[in-house]
Structures are given as C-alpha cells and as structure tokens.
Amino acid sequence: MTRALVALAILVALGGGAAWLAVGGDDAANTKAGATASGPTFDERFPDSRSCQPCHQEVFDEWKDSQHAIAFVNPLVRREDMADGFRKKDCIPCHAPRPVFEAGLGKSARVLSRETARAEGVDCLSCHRVGDGVAASRPGLVGACNPVFRSEVTSTDLCAPCHNQHNTIDEWEASAPALRGANCNGCHMPEVDRPATATQPARKGRSHRSHGGKDATLLASAATIESKVSASDDGSRVLEVTLTNSGCAHNFPTDARHRAVDLVVTLLGPQGEQLGTIAKLGPGEEGGNARLRLRNPYRDEFGKTNTQLPSGASTVLRVPLVPGATSADIRLLMKRTPFLPDAEAQVVSTSTATW
C-alpha cells in the first residue's frame, strides 16, 4: 500500500468508526424489531436524513439539491393560495410523508403525514424505510441501516403513491413504448459513479437529484420542433411549427396545473425587427405573433381545456406570414406558474426558421 492509500484507509476507518459509534453500533442487535436491551431502536438511531449522511454522503448531497428535499419548505407550495403554510392539512402527506412502504405502494396507495422532521420533506426514510431496515435495490447487502432487497424500489410502484396525484403514472402507462423504458428512474435518476469505501468496491449508483423540469439538460430533451412554410387554401403563406413530445414518458408538461409550456413564434423582417401584431392572450401570454400553450388549467378556469401534449404526440401552431417577414424566432418556454411573463420563464429551446 502506498502512504496515501494507508492514510485514506485510516481516514475511512476512523470515519466509519465515528459513524458506527454515532448510530449505536452492533448491527445484529439492531436488526431485530423494536428496542433491545443492548441498544437504541431503529427510530432512535435513524430519526431523519442526517442520520444517513455519515455513510451515504454523495447520495445525501444529491438529495439535498433535489425538489424532494424542499417539498415542505418550498415557498410556492406554502403560498397562501396553495397549502397556506400547510394549514391545509391534506397537503402534508406527500410533502412531509411517512415511509410509503408502511401504507403500501402503487397507484391506489395512500400516503400518510409525518409528525417529525417535516422540514426534510420527502426524506430518505420516505422512500427507503421498510420495517426496521431500508429497502435496497440490490440483494445481499450488509450495513448498519439493515438493507433488505425489495424489487419495488426500482419500479414505478415506489413513485406512484405520490406522483399519481397528478396522473403521471397513468400517463406513463399510456406512453410510447420506446420512451417508457423500465420505469421513471431511467430519465430521473441517471447512473452516477460511487467511489470505493473501506468495505465496498467502486460501483454504479443512481443520482438522487431527481432532475425534473428545472434541469436544463433534461428539459431540452423533452420535445423536438420542426417548421416549414406552406401555402394555405386561399393562397396566403403560413409558417407551420410542429412540436412533438419526443422525450417524456408522460405528458409535456406533466403533473401540476401551475406548470405551463409556451411555444412562442415571432415574425422578423430583414433587420431582425418584429413585424405584424403582437399577441396579447392574457397574463403570462403576451408577446410574439402567435402562441400555443400546453397546460392543464386550474379547476376554476372555466372554458379552458387540458392542452398537455401526451407522450409521442405532436401539435401544430400555424402562423400566417405577414408581408416582409423573412424569418421567425421560435422559442419554447417552461413556466412554473402560468402567469409568469416570458422574461422570467426557463428557456427550453430557441431556433430560427428562414425562408
């Protein structure tokens, strides 16, 4: 062993030892249900996500950076017209849940609300705790947290109790087979490298960032855009912009009603100046010459229909060309709330059509 490796081994041993002490030690005694004369209960050893951190630092860091970790403190969720600081008690279950394995998995399972460490939102135990151990994705593991292999961890059944609130599992089941893959994790928990530890060789893991609509790379993979100029029946020319949900194994956008995706087309003259009439369809829908909105409206928005784009499906925005227009700016925007102005939206993609 080189000196560096020896130092590393000592560090790992010390770190592991400290963690071992911190969680109370004796694995065998603690794998038994409930309190034993020899040590604290599973609940006492693992009250929250921080108790997992000493041995799962990378996973912890990723999770900390995810929407799951902010589910209970997210200002948008807490807003007065939303969960009202969680005075609306029926909002607590999925945003500060008890372990989902407790009430069963799958689409029809209920999620129960947690009384402790609510600020941790969807914490490690929400997804992993099963009995007095943790649900593992691989068989044959040994550790202080008592990992037990449960095949459900790698299936959509784990995500379903919370995510079918907004129909995502139903949408996934109806999605294009080529996109569906094995489950949600192929797209939302990409493979990452886990370094070797004192007892384990280096291996592949899965990112716990749970990348969603806020991740620019994932977002850019959601849809593809094609455009062409064609003559309409009366002889005038029309720019046809086709938007396809080519990258989501569910609707685009999926889930919550406050999400809106806007396809905005702006006709430009030779100097890049905007031509024609600026569209003003309502708050959050101003600018460009034409706009197509993908969204499931709030229940009180009467007269509006659900325009989310199903997996694999296409929709076309037809823009009549005005005299002098030589090109068009095409942008796809993601809005986390529907009334945001374009300038505050996330840009999914931009392109230019010329003719």
d(CA 23, CA 289): 62
Output the smallest distance, CB 226 to ligand HEC, in A: 18
Q: Label residue 9 left, alpha or beta by phi (over 0 means left) and psi (-120 to 50 means alpha).
A: alpha
Q: Which of residues 323-342 bind ligand HEC (CB under 6 A)?
A: 336
d(CA 235, CA 237): 7
* Sign of torsion over alpha carbons 130, 131, 134, 140: negative
- 316-354 burial, b at 16+ Cβ within 10 Å, e below that, comes to ebebebeeebebbbbbbbbbbebebebeebbebbeeebe
Q: Which of residues 28-67 bind ligand HEC (CB under 6 A)?
A: 46, 49, 51-52, 54-56, 59-60, 63, 67
Q: Which of residues 96-125 bind ligand HEC (CB under 6 A)?
A: 97, 100, 111, 122, 124-125
CB neighbourhood size of 24 (10 A): 18
Q: Which of residues 190-249 bind ligand HEC (CB under 6 A)?
A: 194, 200, 205-206, 208, 210, 212-214, 218-219, 221-222, 247-249
Output the smallest distance, CB 77 to ligand HEC, in A: 4
Output the smallest distance, CB 32 to ligand HEC, in A: 17
Output the smallest distance, CB 244 to ligand HEC, in A: 12
CA atoms within 13 A on the CB side of 28: 0
d(CA 259, CA 278): 23
Overall size of the chain counted in residues: 355
259/291 with CB nearer ligand HEC? 259
Among 127, 260, 321, 333, binds ligand HEC (CB under 6 A): 127
35/173 with CB nearer ligand HEC? 173
Q: Which of residues 7-26 bind ligand HEC (CB under 6 A)?
A: 19-20, 23
200/352 with CB nearer ligand HEC? 200
- Supply 228's token pair: 């062409």
d(CA 316, CA 241): 6
Q: Is 126 in the site for ligand HEC (CB under 6 A)?
A: yes
Output the smallest distance, CB 229 to ligand HEC, in A: 29
Q: Distance between terminal CA atoms of the chain? A: 67
Q: Is 300 in the site for ligand HEC (CB under 6 A)?
A: no
Q: Which of residues 257-286 bind ligand HEC (CB under 6 A)?
A: 259
d(CA 179, CA 247): 7
d(CA 28, CA 8): 27
Q: Is 154 in the site for ligand HEC (CB under 6 A)?
A: yes
Output the smallest distance, CB 9 to ligand HEC, in A: 16
Give the number of residues in contact with ligand HEC, rule: CB under 6 A: 91
Question: CA separation (Å) from 23 to 51, 68, 132, 196?
Answer: 8, 24, 14, 22
Contact window for ligand HEC (CB under 6 A) among 32-40, 81-89, 230-238, 265-273? 81-89
**Please, are residues 39 and 25 in contact by the beta-carbon 8 Å criterion?**
yes
158/340 with CB nearer ligand HEC? 158
Among 41, 165, 307, 346, binds ligand HEC (CB under 6 A): 165
Give the angle subtended at the CA of 222 by the CAs of 151 and 251, to the nearest 5°. Answer: 70
Among 30, 227, 246, 254, binds ligand HEC (CB under 6 A): 254
Contact window for ligand HEC (CB under 6 A) among 182-190, 267-275, 283-291, 296-304? 182-190
247/320 with CB nearer ligand HEC? 247
- Supply 152's token pair: 């459900």
